[in-house]
Amino acid sequence: MTEIDPALVHLVSRHGERTTQTPVSALFLNRWSARAMTGEPIPEKLLFCLLEAARHAPSAFNAQPWRFVYARKGEPAFDALLGALNDSNRVWAGNASALILVASKAEFTPAGQAAVTLGSASFDAGAAWAHLALQASLLGWTTRAMAGFDAGKARAAVKAPENLKLEVVIAVGRRGDAASLPPEKQALEKPNARRPLELTAFSGAFPDEV
């Protein structure tokens, strides 16, 4: 491995319950998706900081196919988005400080070229979500993405046009007390594990079974 300048990045092999096979920046081990949140107000500047981090994600053609609708707790759109979540998400996400719907737009017209349909719009929206989540973690906030929602209800809630694919709703908040969660979710309120890297990344070609 090329030498890494330790002044640039602090690599760790363990953070809390998470361990790595090769040291990585603490940034990646520090982030995990809590459900228990305090529901405290989120400063507008912080919310925009998260969206700004997402804005700087990479994307095919630099098309930036991600689109967001954000709503802070107490605003009508927050309740509307909350109402679109499935039961298992709604029981805890009401204590988020903000909900952010992430959508992607596959239609794109590169400068001076014919319109294309991006095959990577969802992939790129996922990169934007990862930027947002890591920025939140760096600032001491937690995020949890949720695909468990009713797309029709969410579309109506935020007036999403049909050409947008609704990807996830993100709950953003400060970590709260696990005791606020339904009993079956309390034990899950900690960083979880990962598949071994050997089952995920392969040198040169895939094995017979992936």
Which residue type sits at 6? Answer: P
Residues from 94 through 113 that contact ligand FMN (CB under 6 A): none
Residue placing its CB nearer to ligand FMN in the complex, 32 or 108: 32
To the nearest whole angstrom, how small is the minimum distance from the Cβ of residue 91 to ligand FMN?
Answer: 10
CA atoms 127, 129, 132, 134: torsion sign: negative
Closest to 170 measured CA to CA, from 193, 192, 147, 150: 147
Residue with tokens 């007036």: 159
User: Does the footprint of ligand FMN cover residue 39 (CB under 6 A)?
Assistant: no
Kindly tell me the sign of the dihedral angle through the C-alpha atoms of 128, 134, 137, 139. Answer: negative
32 is a contact residue toward ligand FMN (CB under 6 A):
yes
DSSP 122-175: HHHHHHHHHHHHHHHHHTT-EEEEE--B-HHHHHHHHT--TTEEEEEEEEEE-B
- Stretch touching ligand FMN by CB under 6 A, among 2-10, 43-51, 103-111, 144-152: 144-152
Stretch that binds ligand FMN, among 51-59, 115-123, 139-147, 158-166 (CB under 6 A): 139-147
Query: Is 146 a binder of ligand FMN (CB under 6 A)?
Result: yes
Find the shortest distance in angstroms from Cβ 87 to ligand FMN: 11
One residue of 72, 73, 144, 174 binding ligand FMN per CB under 6 A = 144
Residue numbers of the site for ligand FMN (CB under 6 A)? 32-33, 89, 144-148, 168, 191-192
